[in-house]
Structure 1
Amino acid sequence: MAAEEEEAAAPPQKRFYRQRAHSNPLADHTLSYPSRPQDMDWASLFPSFFPPAAAPGAAPARVEFADIGCGYGGLLVALAERFPQALALGLELRAKVAAFARARIRSLRAARPGRFGNVACVRANAMRHLPHFFRRAQVRPDHGGLRTKHKWRIVSPATLAEYGFVLRPGGLVYTVTDVPELHQWMLQHFGEHPLFEPLPPAQLAAEPLVPLLPSVTEEGQRARRAGRAPNCAVFRRRPDPPAAAP
């Protein structure tokens, strides 16, 4: 899949990229996505990590972070600086918002050569196409964004099964929302799923990404503007259950 070609420009301004807070993931959208993960054109998104003259036999770089519902790219930018050698892909369904995130990344790459080459954004419907982008146990997804209708939510029994497929055992899912009811929904569904468990408090306190969620995500910023603390939680992918005896 080729990345959309857009001219590099000055830092984008959100007022030119405003869109409704949500986009219906069940509606038909004109989207480009690979038929299977091995057909994904990662070099167009991360050219500095896929040089044309790569050494024969060198292991290709692989995306480790997936920011589901990445919004305007705040968490992606933070990941780029905190994990400069790890590739992070943002998936955003809203066309204008995804365009803003891409423009933001292009602007940062141009302003600071050699940096931010490890993050990218694609317009994608994670509820439908996540396994088209990632192999089994490839990534450690980051956070699910806000949804207001149950059937639209990025956390549901069906989507958790897909997260469990692409997430490596021991990998972490970070959730953040400014809606307490949605937070409880996510706690319930992760807690009921056999492939996930809440991160113990002692490990939660040591997680480096947790302090970032209130300040760099849209959900965290909305909560702060309203004078409320955002609702965050972290869940760990359990090991695969032992295969049943024949």
Structure 2
Amino acid sequence: MTDESDDAAAPRRLIFGRRRGRKLSPTRESTFGDWLPRLSITLPAPGVTLDPASLFAKPMKAYWVEVGFGDGGHLFALAAQHPEIGFLGVEPYEHGVAKLVMRVAEKVEAGGADNIRILTDDARLLLKALPDASVQRGFTLFPDPWPKKRHQWRRIVNTDTLADWARLIAPDDELRVATDVPDYQRWMLRHILAEPRFDWQAETSADWLQRPADWPPSKYEQKAIAAGRTPHYYRLRRI
């Protein structure tokens, strides 16, 4: 699959699936149309750095990035807990984005912190654009496992993206990844252990089988547990 909006001479291979599902309800579509432009991340030209501070009306203490936020439950919970942090979320699927936009609109209109910005495109574009050591915490939680072997190049946890995270995350800060798919668990660990700039923070099995207390649950995670699957949670410290 390629992105036809890119230069025809160098099409970009997309790693995500569909963008749209069923039609949004009139109320959600209206809020989505009004609020998404206010929350959207505009990427700079290739080779130009995006200062995350430029995305917010006031300075933030730090910047956290979630790639593939689904319906936004985890991201929104963290943003509510940490109004001093600027959150950058990436999700191409319209319904998931619309759910998060609705939550943000309600929160901001009620006087809550305006500390979430959203990219509805390929996460790799944002990771490439951000400056070195500009992110204090990153998240890739329960990404699409792309189980067929011919599709595994689309897995978002890979050598290139881990190298991007290692460049972006400041020393002693953290990347968190999770999956409930056994094959993807093995894939993740193989790639994590091959990236020398990350130290896997695990001493016993409880360290990857139990979600840390400061890690809000996601809707997909809850569905996985209800279906009898076992999530694995990986905390990686930037060395």
Normalising to structure 1: TM-score of the pair?
A: 0.67
Normalising to structure 2: TM-score of the pair?
A: 0.69
- Structure 2 match to 1:131: 128
Cα deviation for residue 189 of structure 1 reads: 0.6
Cα deviation for residue 89 of structure 1 reads: 1.2
* Partner Cα separation in structure 2 for residue 144 and residue 163 of structure 1: 14
C-alpha RMSD of the superposition: 2.9
Cα deviation for residue 39 of structure 1 reads: 6.5
Q: Does 1:97 align with 2:96?
A: yes
* Partner Cα separation in structure 2 for residue 82 and residue 40 of structure 1: 20
Q: Quick one: which of 116, 120, 125 aligns to 2:117? A: 120
Gaps of 5+ in 2: 1-20, 26-40
Question: What do the CA deviations read for 1:116-149 (whole angstroms, capped 9, x no partner)?
Answer: 42223221311244121x2100102122442213
- Structure 2 match to 1:24: none
Q: Quick one: which of 161, 170, 183 aligns to 1:159? A: 161
- Structure 2 match to 1:107: 106
Structure 2 matches for 1:74-93, cutoff 5 A?
74-93=73-92
Question: What do the CA deviations read for 1:135-180 (whole angstroms, capped 9, x no partner)?
Answer: 1001021224422132111111111111111111111111122212
* Partner Cα separation in structure 2 for residue 62 and residue 126 of structure 1: 23
* Partner Cα separation in structure 1 for residue 93 and residue 54 of structure 2: 21
Q: Does 1:33 align with 2:29?
A: no
Cα deviation for residue 17 of structure 1 reads: 5.2
1:146 aligns to what SS in structure 2? Answer: coil
Gaps of 5+ in 1: 1-13, 19-30, 51-59, 239-246
Question: Is contact 2:134-2:169 (8 Å) kept?
Answer: yes
Q: How many residues get paired?
A: 192
- Structure 1 match to 2:233: 232
- Pick which of 155-164 and 145-154 moved more: 145-154
Q: Does 1:173 align with 2:181?
A: no
1:151 aligns to what SS in structure 2? Answer: helix
1:155 aligns to what SS in structure 2? Answer: coil
Cα deviation for residue 182 of structure 1 reads: 1.0
- Structure having the higher strand fraction is 2
Cα deviation for residue 70 of structure 1 reads: 1.0
Give the direction of change, closer, same or farther, for the CA distance of 1:201–1:162 in structure 2 (3 Å limit): same
Question: Is contact 1:183-1:232 (8 Å) kept?
Answer: no
Structure 2 matches for 1:143-158, cutoff 5 A?
143-147=140-144, 148=146, 149-158=151-160
Give the direction of change, closer, same or farther, for the CA distance of 1:103–1:137 in structure 2 (3 Å limit): same
1:201 aligns to what SS in structure 2? Answer: coil
